Amino acid sequence: MTLTLEIKPEVQGELASQAAARGMDVLAYAAALLEQAIHLPNKKLVEAKRQRFTAEGKRERIAKSLSALNQPPSIRLTADEWRQIVEDPDLEDQFS
């Protein structure tokens, strides 16, 4: 599909800049952004949900989830400890 868009020069410049930063062609990058914005369903995930989350046992799953949500937090951190965790720029890298 071919799509023609009128965008502001500053948007075009930022799009080109972000594409270059990712080593991508600006048109390919724009297409990728559109695809992300559409949120196409992941076929494997949809099928897994269909198989796993059937009507049978739904009430029990909901009750179990609500029970878990209503439990007191098991992690006790000070406000400063939470702040350090949230502001750690390398946190994601530690778990990938």
**For the segment 27-77, what is each residue's pLDDT rounded down to a tens digit?**
999 999 998 898 878 889 989 999 999 999 999 999 999 999 999 988 889
Q: Which two tokens stand for residue 52?
A: 């796993």
Number of structural domains in the chain: 1
The whole-number pLDDT of residue 90 equals 79
Q: Report the SS3 class of residue 80.
A: helix
The answer to whether 23 and 34 have CB atoms below 8 angstroms apart is no
Domain that holds residue 31: 9-38
Taking every pair of Cα atoms in the chain, the longest distance, rounded to a whole number of angstroms, is 55
CA distance 40 to 77: 38
Query: Does residue 1 sit within a domain?
Result: no
Residue 19 has pLDDT above 80, yes or no: yes
The whole-number pLDDT of residue 57 equals 92
The whole-number pLDDT of residue 96 equals 59
Query: Does residue 13 sit within a domain?
Result: yes
Residue 7 has pLDDT above 80, yes or no: yes
Query: Does residue 22 sit within a domain?
Result: yes
Query: Does residue 32 sit within a domain?
Result: yes
Average pLDDT rounded to a whole number, residues 75-91: 87
Residue 89 has pLDDT above 70, yes or no: yes
What is the model's pTM? 0.44
The whole-number pLDDT of residue 34 equals 92
Query: Does residue 21 sit within a domain?
Result: yes
